[in-house]
Amino acid sequence: MIPPSIKLTKAALTLDDGAVFEGFSVGEIAEAEGEVVFITAMSGYQEVLTDPSYHGQIVVFTTAHVGNYGTHPEVDQAPVAHAAGAVFHELWLPPVKHWLNDKDLPNYMAGRQLAGLTGVDTRALTLHLRDKGARNGYIGPLDQGLEKARAKARAVAPMIGRDLAKEVSCPEPYSLPPLVLDWSPKETIPVAVIDFGVKKSILDDLRRENLELTVFPADATRQDIESLKPKGIFLTNGPGDPAACPYAAELAREYLGRLPLFGICLGHQIMALAAGAETYKLPFGHHGLNHPVQDSRTGRIWLTSQNHGFCVSPHKLPSNVRASHWNINDDTVEGLEWTDKPAFCVQFHPEASPGPHDACGLFKRFRKLLEDFYA
């Protein structure tokens, strides 16, 4: 709960269908706009707010209490907050004693220019989004008038057709050395990372496999990449509509069969488009740490971390591409693998410790794919 010493200002989240959910403003930024989605995770709020895949979205946290364990810079997935805003039922202050606690959540949000709303009936809001689908919305003060707030919500650009990868990608290439541990493979292998909005934890897991990374902007060309002679290509997660990034699919198409490829989330969708498949927008997306996915090869069920609003259609997969993983909840495609090329990809996030270690072996699989290709 918030101590009485903290001044609260009445504000509201207004959706483009006219629905209004009142609460109190958090932080120094009073306004935010974006697509409103809900996440079912009970922890990891700092990781969510700094995940570039949430760029352009207002995130509704379904768990009742948020902020319990504070924040710490080491947990950030990017140098800045990427979510457009955050909505909570109740902020818990002060946070409990925790060895990584450096700052409470409201001060953290204020320092990163992130708008928030607390005191909201998030159960009613989540049910509304579940039934109506993800909506565009606007967070702002109550005293401006309802019609003005509704007009701002309706003016938010739709997510379909938006290329957001370029907005969050690195401006210039940069290099990262391996993070060699006792169990890491001994041979260093250079890999090109195409940054559509990469999370720090993904880069760290790749580096622990003794991969030397060069991270390229989303719109990097084949000439840019081949100047460093990588032995593999990794396509990262990121926000927005994959169909709005034809340049990325074209780049992946050039490398399919030439070098080993691995993609996660948006990278998975880009690889599917490169193969000739299609993508579509889900009603309210998959956002949480508890989504069950079945490995079609073994029948094993994995608990996965997910964050995406678009999905790969299973109906136009080419004959040399098979669905390797399926979502148990709604039977959507969660992974692909090529039968005649060294390439695979997954929709979920293996680096986010789901299960907690169900999917971590995918980074080792990529490492082995590289070793086998050059054996």
Q: Cα(196)–Cα(215) distance, rounded to whole angstroms?
A: 10
Structure confidence at residue 7 (pLDDT): 64
Structure confidence at residue 75 (pLDDT): 93
Q: Which residues are catalytic?
A: 265, 349, 351
Structure tokens at 331: 């039977």
**331 dihedral zone (left: phi>0; alpha: psi -120 to 50; beta):** left
Q: Cα(289)–Cα(354) distance, rounded to whole angstroms?
A: 6
Contacts of 136 (CB under 8 A, 6+ apart): 15, 16, 33, 34, 35, 36, 153, 154, 156, 157, 158
**pLDDT, averaged in runs of 10, over the chain (375 residues):** 67 97 88 97 94 97 93 94 96 76 89 93 98 97 92 97 98 96 92 98 97 98 94 98 98 97 98 98 95 95 96 96 97 98 97 82 96 94
pTM for this predicted structure: 0.95
Using CA atoms of 26, 29, 31, 35 in order, give the dihedral in degrees to the nearest 10.
-80
Q: Cα(105)–Cα(86) distance, rounded to whole angstroms?
A: 11
Structure confidence at residue 294 (pLDDT): 97
- Report H helices in 302-356: none
Structure confidence at residue 352 (pLDDT): 83
Give me the domains of the chain, ranges plus CATH numbers.
9-154 (3.50.30.20), 165-373 (3.40.50.880)
Q: The dihedral of CA 33, 38, 44, 47: what is its sign?
A: negative
Residue type, 31: E
* Strand partners of residue 5: none
Residue type, 210: N
